[in-house]
Structure 1
Amino acid sequence: MFPPGRGNDNLVVGEIYMISLFGTNEMLTAEGVELRLRGYQEGNREQMWVCEKNSDNRYGMRNRQTGRLLGQRDNNRFACAVYDHLEWEWLAFTRDSLGGYSITVSPASGDKLGPLQRINPNDEHLMVGEVGTQFGLHQLKDPVLRRFEWVVPNRLARSSAPYYDGEDSDESINQTSIEFLQNYSIQNIISLNSVEISPRERGRLRAAKISYSHIKALECTGLTQEQFDKIWTAYDKAGVTVVYCGYGDGRTGMAISALQLFEGRTLSDLDYRANGVQCRSQIEALNALSERIHGVENLSDPPDTSDPQPPPYAAPEKDKS
């Protein structure tokens, strides 16, 4: 029995992969902290790896069963031992001309990447050696949270809605999406989807001890100041948080920008755009929030981060004359 595909799939953050010795059914398999080559088993979570990037934009592969990352251990041994995607726990994938990939590994010391190699054909283990071995990447067609990435490592992430496939209503909270969230230690969801999840789905999240806040937002529409305050309240004292809308771009970028403003940063229109904000109405809403937090005269000054929270929003009184 062979894994799906030919092993030439592209890397996409948030997607799930199996990693084979190219052209064989031998798969990288996590067994606790140890890593071994085992025959392909359909549905085996120890053979499934979630692609992610760290704060330095480096790739890593996290095992779905153990939650640990691939990386180098002592004596050039390749293993699955650590939970945190740090500066040195990363991999580089290079497409080979004959198919598949060579994998180089961040070194435990020094600055030279080492190729991942099967030293002995009869050995189930892998080492960081001198000549790279050819591996296959097989993407599982399980979308879960597309475009998942860390904004603040292990604190704030962003993504598309679970199972998004073009419509906000595609969102689904099931056991698989909950497992995906738990693999990243997500404890809190802030959703800007136009559609709220069902009571049954809320119950699944509560059972998994994942909090959920829904701030309804429409595409290319700015949020109100009250909605910005709700986003900050939902995030301020919560655990590891993911923010999403539908696709995970404009509305999500607006929420991420708002959180950065609440934390004391000053942002320009270019910063908003870099966060994914798409529409003028969204930028205008964020500028109003920035003015409320920092004041017009302080936009170019370093923010006072001792207490960045603005006073509660109050709608202007109507002219009674």
Structure 2
Amino acid sequence: MFPPGRGNDKLGAGDIYLISVFGTNEMLTATGEDTCLQEYQEDHHGQMWICEVPVTSDHQIGMRNKQTGRMLGWWEGNILKCKAKVNDAWEWLTFTRLSLGGYSLKVSPKGKERPRPLQRVDSDSPHLKIGEVCTQFGLHKIKGPVFRRFEWVIPGHLARSSAPFYDGEDADESINEISTEFLNNYGIKNIISLNSVGLSTRQKGRLRAAKISYSHIKAEKCTAVTQEQFDQIWNAYDKAGATIVYCGYGDGRTGMAISAIQLFQGRALNDNDYMENGVQCLSQLAALKELSVRINGVESSSGPVNTLDTQPPPYTAPENTAPEKKEK
């Protein structure tokens, strides 16, 4: 029995992979704190690796074993281990796509030395070692991502993504054991959702049990939120722990919320900044410009803001300007 796919799948945060010796059914398997190559077994959690990205932007990857919860990386001697519970410097891996298919895989011993390739100890051994010649590995994605398009906006403090298990509709959003495990692995303790659909009572309970706070700022696709909702976004973020913001796909509404947080933090943004954040429609741009004027008293510019007042200006509902009906 062979694993799914050809082994050329792309890496993505939150995706779950099998790692094979390319073109074979030999899978990298965690056995306690050790690793070895074993024949592919369907639904074997010891052969499943959850892709994690670092809070730094050095293009390295972490692989956490589904069964043990420990990180793949060099630990003792030259033999590849799966021992650490957190991403120490030597648990970051470098995957390089090869022209003949598959990937090379390198590790940095002790986190300080130059990356070294992983290779088989020998043809008869089930173990991998740090060597000089790259073994060709395959990456087989076996499950859809938990949080698609996950990325850090402020490393370790503010992240953005699609809704968990998003597959085209806002209602796909789901908080379950896998979702909370992903959030806990990244140290995220606060959710701001701009999904058009709120979580069920049961799903909120799962978040409370995991000590993750949740704020739902309801927004429909391709629409702007109100000024009052901007204040709610900031209040949900200010003084909170590591936060993730999402909507459905994780673009327009999420980009609008990220832009609002940046404005409240004192950044001066222009249209290009808003669009780089993912803002999609004119109503969202107009709402952000109104927010900028409300905070700064002037139109957005590209220069820094000299004074920072982190308290949102009070929201005042617009007066009803419609003419009163005359009595007959």
TM-score under structure 2 length normalisation: 0.85
CA distance 1:156–1:36, change in 2 (3 Å): farther
Structure 1 equivalent of residue 209 of structure 2: 207
> What secondary structure sits across from 2:61 in the alignment?
strand
Displacement of 1:311 in angstroms is: 2.3
CA distance 1:109–1:144, change in 2 (3 Å): closer
Structure 1 equivalent of residue 326 of structure 2: none
Structure 2 equivalent of residue 242 of structure 1: 244
Write the distance in 2 (CA, Å) between the matches of 1:245 and 1:46.
33
User: Greater CA deviation, 211-220 or 5-14?
Assistant: 5-14
User: Greater CA deviation, 148-157 or 216-225?
Assistant: 148-157
Structure 2 equivalent of residue 272 of structure 1: 274
User: Greater CA deviation, 16-25 or 130-139?
Assistant: 16-25
Determine if contact 2:270/2:301 at 8 Å carries over to the other structure.
Answer: no
CA distance 1:76–1:194, change in 2 (3 Å): same
CA-to-aligned-CA distance 1:273-321 (integer Å, 9 cap, x gap) = 1111111211121122222223317845432465433322223445699
Determine if contact 2:107/2:118 at 8 Å carries over to the other structure.
Answer: yes
> What secondary structure sits across from 1:62 in the alignment?
strand
CA distance 1:96–1:66, change in 2 (3 Å): farther
Over the matched positions of the two proteins, sequence identity in percent amounts to 61
What is the letter of the counterpart of residue 92 of structure 2?
E
CA distance 1:251–1:177, change in 2 (3 Å): same
CA-to-aligned-CA distance 1:207-264 (integer Å, 9 cap, x gap) = 2222211101112211111111111111222222211111111111111111122222
CA distance 1:220–1:46, change in 2 (3 Å): same
Q: 1:170-249 counterparts in 2 under 5 A? A: 170-249=172-251
Structure 1 equivalent of residue 298 of structure 2: 296
Write the distance in 1 (CA, Å) between the matches of 2:71 and 2:62.
6
Displacement of 1:85 in angstroms is: 7.5
Determine if contact 1:96/1:102 at 8 Å carries over to the other structure.
Answer: no
Asked whether 1:137 is paired with 2:139, we answer yes
CA-to-aligned-CA distance 1:15-52 (integer Å, 9 cap, x gap) = 21111112333322345654433443433333322234
Write the distance in 2 (CA, Å) between the matches of 1:114 and 1:203.
45
CA-atom RMSD in angstroms = 2.9
Structure 1 equivalent of residue 162 of structure 2: 160
Where does the alignment leave 5 or more consecutive residues of structure 1 unmatched? none
Q: 1:122-133 counterparts in 2 under 5 A? A: 122-133=124-135
Determine if contact 1:115/1:131 at 8 Å carries over to the other structure.
Answer: yes
TM-score under structure 1 length normalisation: 0.86
Displacement of 1:73 in angstroms is: 4.6
Write the distance in 1 (CA, Å) between the matches of 2:271 and 2:230.
18
Q: Larger Cα Rg: Structure 1 or Structure 2?
A: 2
Write the distance in 1 (CA, Å) between the matches of 2:295 and 2:218.
23
Displacement of 1:101 in angstroms is: 1.7
Count, aligned residues = 319
Write the distance in 2 (CA, Å) between the matches of 1:272 and 1:5.
38
Write the distance in 2 (CA, Å) between the matches of 1:197 and 1:131.
50
Structure 2 equivalent of residue 255 of structure 1: 257
Write the distance in 2 (CA, Å) between the matches of 1:88 and 1:46.
18
Write the distance in 2 (CA, Å) between the matches of 1:134 and 1:94.
10
Where does the alignment leave 5 or more consecutive residues of structure 2 unmatched? 324-328
Write the distance in 2 (CA, Å) between the matches of 1:242 and 1:310.
20
Determine if contact 2:29/2:46 at 8 Å carries over to the other structure.
Answer: yes
Structure 2 equivalent of residue 109 of structure 1: 112
